[in-house]
Amino acid sequence: MTGGRHGWPFGACVDDLQKFGYTEEEYFLSGNAVRYRPTSALTFDGRWSVRADSAAPFRTRVLVRRPLDPSRFSGLVVVEWANVSAGYEISFAVPPSLYSGHAYVAVSTQPHGVHGFPSRPEGLTAWDPPRYGRLLVSDDAVGYDIFTQAARLLRAPDGSPLLGGLRARQLIGVGASQSGTRILAYLNAVQPIEQVFDAFMPLICAGRSADFEPEAAHPDTGAGARGHSRAVPVRVRDDVSTRTLVLNTETEAAEYAPLRQPDSDVICSWEVAGASHGPAPQLEAVNAIVTRDGLTPPRWSAGRPSEVPWLPTFDAAVGHVHRWITDGLAPPTQPPLAVRTDVTLLRDEYGNARGGIRLPELEVPTATYRGSDTGAELAGSTTPFTADTLTQLYPTHRHYVEKVRAAAAAAMDAGVILPRRAEEYVRQAERAPIPPGADTLSR
């Protein structure tokens, strides 16, 4: 699909993908989608049973990023359920390693994304009527089957029309936050029926699953509504062979702790210390797209959000899950965040969380990072250390850089960041004026 008022797809990448050897394309997908109805209670163990019920026509879009050179294609497609909690679509789960040969597909599955909030229509159809005016997603319940139908097209044995004829060999279903709740519902109820995905990664959803009701699960925040999506606390079902890696941050810790499951041959759980639901680096990336596209920016924090990102750890996790489904090599087990009996986080003398995945920000701290804070429940906060504290911790700049280098190497060895991210940590440390007044090693 091309043309329209803007001349580019909604949510298109802000970078020049050709420099990575990639292209971005948009396709429309239409047909009839069934709704699923639970045949028993949505129990805590996730062993849910549903049946196909009524159906409705739909016409939606998928956004595709893939290698231009077919020989570079790894066979892996990361399929994201587009997040709609802002009243328009946001893609959170685009791993930087995508451009090393994987493909990425975002599927528009819900009315809030296609049509926008009733009070503030900024969805696809309102943003570019000439391009998207004929799209239709009638209700939340049809989204599960739309996701399945897109996945089946990606798996076309003779090459997918959505991938320029490339043949997908592995599909990972991904969703973050609100869309993570849809992924959790899908893997617990729909995947046992359809068996179209190889693995799932529900991200930052705190063990909360969506239900199967047609009514919109997320409140219309444009009309002043508050709160999170209607959701059910649940674990990942453990009686199926589909691999699942769950990733959460400090923000989700209190809700997720009672739902924790031990790692197994089909389930893995990671928790990132210091990171928030919407950390500064990811909010900056989202805002770059929102600003270009003229949308109402999400208001997550009036202060300084946590500067500990979870996306680089998700990036490493994608590689682990890919090996898990191709070679059977499970992701490395990681320690959970340390919590008290009341599920509040245990913190060290600097106010940083104990336990969890330890990125260099936590191992060589220059600030207190919180995954949630007053007025910034989802963005968290960053409170820089005083000059005296920094000088006490890091007497010389070289001392600081070497500690960051060691922490980055340890995180890479633990499998929670990739080599390119470890190199970024060292470059950032070399440029950082720590301790205050010291000459840097930047080059």
* Short-list 331, 310, 322, 139, CA closest to 217: 139
pLDDT beyond 60 at 329: yes
- Cα–Cα distance measured from residue 79 to residue 62, given in angstroms and rounded to the nearest whole number: 10
> Is residue 408 classed as helix, strand or coil in its secondary structure?
helix
Question: Is residue 233 a contact partner of residue 188, using CB atoms and an 8 Å limit?
Answer: no
- Architecture field, domain 17-327: 3-Layer(aba) Sandwich (3.40)
DSSP 211-241: ---SS-SS--GGGT--S----EE-PPPSSS-
- As a whole number of angstroms, the distance between CA 131 and CA 305 comes to 36
- Decide if pLDDT at 395 tops 70: yes
Q: Which residues pair with 57 in a beta bridge?
A: 32
CA pair distance 297, 376, nearest whole angstrom:
15
3-state class (DSSP) for residue 338 = coil
Q: What's the sign of the alpha-carbon dihedral 354, 355, 357, 359? A: positive
- pLDDT at residue 442 greater than cutoff 60: no
Helices (H), 16-161: 111-114, 124-127, 129-132, 143-154
Please compute the mean of the pLDDT values over residues 4-13 and round it to a whole number.
Answer: 94
Q: What are the angstrom distances between the C-alpha of 258 and each of 229, 232, 294, 323, 336?
A: 20, 13, 40, 29, 12
Task: For residue range 246-298, list pLDDT tens digits in order.
Answer: 999 999 999 999 999 999 999 999 999 999 999 999 999 999 999 999 998 88
Predicted pLDDT of residue 407: 99
| Confidence (pLDDT) at 224 | 60
pLDDT digits (tens, 9 = 90+) for 146-204: 999 999 999 999 999 999 999 999 999 999 999 999 999 999 999 999 999 999 999 99
Residue 222 has pLDDT above 90, yes or no: no
Q: How confident is the model at residue 414 (pLDDT cuts 50, 70, 90)?
A: very high
Residue 223 binned pLDDT confidence (cut-offs 50, 70, 90): low
For 56: left if phi > 0, alpha if psi spans -120 to 50, otherwise beta; the answer is beta
| Per-residue model confidence (pLDDT) at position 46 | 98
Q: Return the number of other C-beta atoms located less than 10 Å from residue 383's C-beta.
A: 14
Q: Which two tokens stand for residue 359?
A: 């990125």
Range(s) within the chain of domains with CATH label 3.40.50? 17-327
Distance CA 279, CA 78 (A): 22
Write the single-letter amino acid at 60. T
Average pLDDT, the chain: 95
Question: What average pLDDT does this structure show over 110-117?
Answer: 96
80: Cβ contacts below 8 Å, ≥ 6 apart: 91, 92, 93, 94, 104, 105, 106, 107, 174, 175, 176, 179
Confidence of residue 443 (pLDDT cuts 50, 70, 90): very low
Residue 130 reports pLDDT greater than 60: yes
Distant-in-sequence, close-in-space partners of 413: CB < 8 Å, separation ≥ 6: none
pLDDT tens for 396-412 read: 999 999 999 999 999 99
Cα distance between the two ends of the chain: 44
Whether the pLDDT of residue 92 is over 90: the answer is no
Q: Residue type for 367, please?
A: A
Q: Which residue has the tokens 């940083």?
A: 352
Task: Calculate mean pLDDT across residues 90-96.
Answer: 87
Residues 6 or more apart whose Cβ sits within 8 Å of residue 341 = none
